[in-house]
Structure 1
Amino acid sequence: MKVSNLRDIRRSWLLHGDLPENALEAQLGLTVYRSWQRCLQSGLDAYQKQLPDNILSGQVLQTRIEQRRDLIALAKPTMHYLHGLMSGSGGVIILSDHQGVIVHSVGDAEFISKADRVLLKTGASWLEKHRGTNAIGTALVDRVAVSVNGSEHFLENNGFLSCTAAPIFEPDGKISGVLNISTDKSTHHPHTLGLVKATVHSLEKQLFSANEFQYALVLRIHNSPEGLGSIGEGMIGVDESGTVLGVDRVALSLLEMNALDIGVVKIQQILDISLGQLFDCAKKDGGKIHAIRTRCSKSLFFKTNLSQSYDGHSHEYQEPNGKDLSKNLAEDLIETGALKQLSRMAIQKTLEKTNGNISLAAKLLRISRNTLYRHLKSQP
């Protein structure tokens, strides 16, 4: 059977099990081909008329949105800026959580009404097992930016869409959410992939900055001195022992690290410099550019500075006694003020990182155990 276009390929393979003479994988591209295979294995019907009912509403949806409140607040200005650039061209900018549930969107009213018909709206899950091959769900599986255009969507109902999405990574390597731009397939533009990647890169830098309080030392690296301070620099956060607690994707690439190394590898195992020398650089001349080599002999340049929360010694909490009661009360007042400056997301992420260990979380947050405990008890 001769296959002339992608829609015919879909019908040939999905309805009859026939593969075209030219390889299906080459026609679809490896990303879409593998996704279609996963969809078939999960039992999805590409030609189903009834949309799957995987949409949250009411209090369940509000709880899900609240769980990503800080990410939504961070992404909203950028999403509205993108919408301003695209306004009138027809399309919607979408933010999902780490499980593919749409938690915020902004777009042109005319296109939104079309998108609603396929449940491309707040509360809907766009995991592959629910919506077939699509940019949000497939980006979550492959952990990379993805474009899915027209008939590349597994479900026939979604064939009018062109969608491009990229996962948003937190500094600890976990996925916080997904940013997606969807338009009509007739207005698909190949540059949308680059736009989404650049936008997500900017959001990830903001996430790193929001988490800087957790680190003792922050390094900014690039393969040229001129690149430091630019959007292309990489960022690394380490604790007092040198353990890499946070790193963005640029730094991962420059240092040839894997996301699994975060929280395990020490910076002195990666760079040809001692931890003491790094702290000395930060204390004496934090704004100076230094040349460095990695353990793999790659040449890099870096700047380093101490975190604003780092004071050079650990904050081991001592239970108050009668002699030091006034001193501890004063310190608690200071710490409580500092606590107000921390976002709820930062506190939640720190507790997740320490598996609920309040003592360790308090140490990372640079506050006392009692202050954190009282704060948690006060939350609804």
Structure 2
Amino acid sequence: MGTLQNCLHADHIQSALSGSAAAQSALIASWRRSMRLYGLNPEEGTSPNVLTDRELQEARERLGSLIHTAQTSLDRLYSAVGGAGCCVLLADKDGVPVDRRGSASDDEVFYRMGLWTGAVWSEESEGTNGIGTALAEQRALTIHRDQHFLSRNTALSCTVAPIFDHRGRLMAAIDVSSARWDLTEDFVKLIAVAVVDAARRVEAENFRLAFPKARIVLAQGVGDPISDRTMHALIAVDEDDLVIGASRAARRLLGLNDEAMSKPLPAANLLGQHADAERELAAAERSVIQRVLASAGGNISLAAAMMGIGRATLHRKLKKLGIH
């Protein structure tokens, strides 16, 4: 980008920061952070900072199994957008890409721009940009061309969605970036849908892996329709029907925090299924007796012995529970 264009972009940002729209615009708020909090200059021309090989390896290790968990979603996403000259990045919560998909024919362009593993794309380092700003604001967004703070990044269009761990904490982000001048607004919207879907898929799989022995259910009440608000609200329920985990979406939907999650939470109560305790106990007892009877081949005396109770006691229970 030429010096004149750099100056024009810098003037545009300065004008926006002093204008009346500054209080309402999330983009301008990010520009303000870039300039006043981080002390960046829109005309800064140096490339992004890059981690050493060892630092990059440490960043990958801090993400643990997430990189492996995300492989299928990243591959699927790249198969959808790669043919349009886009690259796909998985970045950690510090804004460092740790995994990447891209076409060999586009690699030189993206490498030169810093869209590569190990580069630091935090908002503090690069100003307003897709990865850094999505992480700073913890929401999915697109930073399109001259919405970037630094003039050298204004050829890029970057769409990003954050990934939250099984406790609802920011963990990583998925980015799709393009340097094509003919990228249409409609295609950017399609990319946004695909990126958010990929991030939610990774979150769901990571959540399931965090609670391998639990039953994973949607956090919605009986009869409530599945909506965009609830379809990613997952809870993990143990064998005693107690909630032992909740995704970020579920925590927000149900008003849960770490303190609430540290106490026993009956799933039925949390989901508005206020079942009768006596009825639940009876159902549990009926289930146990029927399993023992099946194991005993229907022999009442043997079943009673297996449960450590008398034959007459078992007969009374069978009558009470309506088991014939």
Alpha carbons of structure 1 residues 133 and 242: separation in structure 2 relative to 1, 3 Å? farther
Aligned counterpart, 1:156: 151
| Counterpart pick for 2:83 among 88, 92, 99 | 88
Tell me, yes or no, if the aligned pair for 1:161 and 1:182 is still in contact at 8 Å. yes
- Secondary structure of 1:213's match? coil
Instruction: State the partner residue of 1:171.
Output: 166
2:25 paired with 1:30: yes
SS at match of 2:261: coil
Aligned to 1:203: 202
Is the CA contact 2:95–2:132 (under 8 Å) kept in the aligned structure 1? yes
**Residue 73 of structure 2 contacts residue 201 of structure 2 at CA under 8 Å; is this kept in 1?**
no
Structure 2 match to 1:99: 94
Equivalent position amino acid for 1:31 in 2: A
Of structures 1 and 2, the one scoring higher in RCO (CA 8 A, sep 6+) is: 2
What whole-Å deviation, never above 9, does each CA across 1:270-317 have from its counterpart, x for those lacking one?
44457995x959x959xxxxxxxxxxxxxxxxxxxxxxxxxxxxxxxx
Map of 1:55-94 to 2, 5 A cutoff? 55-94=50-89
SS at match of 1:100: coil
Alignment-derived partner of residue 314 in structure 2: none
5 Å-filtered alignment, 1:221-300, equals 221-222=219-220, 224=223, 227=226, 232=231, 234-237=233-236, 245-255=244-254, 257=255, 263-264=261-262, 267-268=265-266, 270-272=270-272, 280=280
Deviation at 1:241, TM superposition (A): 9.3
CA separation in 2, counterparts of 1:174 and 1:127? Answer: 17
**C-alpha distance in structure 1 between counterparts of 2:19 and 2:174, whole Å:** 34
Contact 1:95 1:102 in 2 (8 A): yes
Give the C-alpha shift of residue 174 in structure 1: 1.4
CA RMSD of aligned residues (A): 3.6
Match of 1:110 in 2: 105
Alignment of 1:300-319 (within 5 A): none
Q: Secondary structure at the match of 2:236?
A: strand
Asked whether 1:46 is paired with 2:42, we answer: yes
Identity of matched residues, %: 26
> Please, which runs of 5 or more residues in structure 1 have no aligned partner?
1-5, 286-380
8 Å CA contact retained: 1:241, 1:266: no
Residues of 2 paired with 1:265 and 1:219: CA distance? 19
Task: Give the residue type in structure 2 aligned to 1:138.
Answer: T
The SS at the match of 1:181 is: strand
User: Structure 2: which 5+ residue stretches go unaligned?
Assistant: 286-324
8 Å contact 1:147–1:162 — kept in the other structure?
A: yes
CA contact (8 A) 1:171 1:245 kept: no
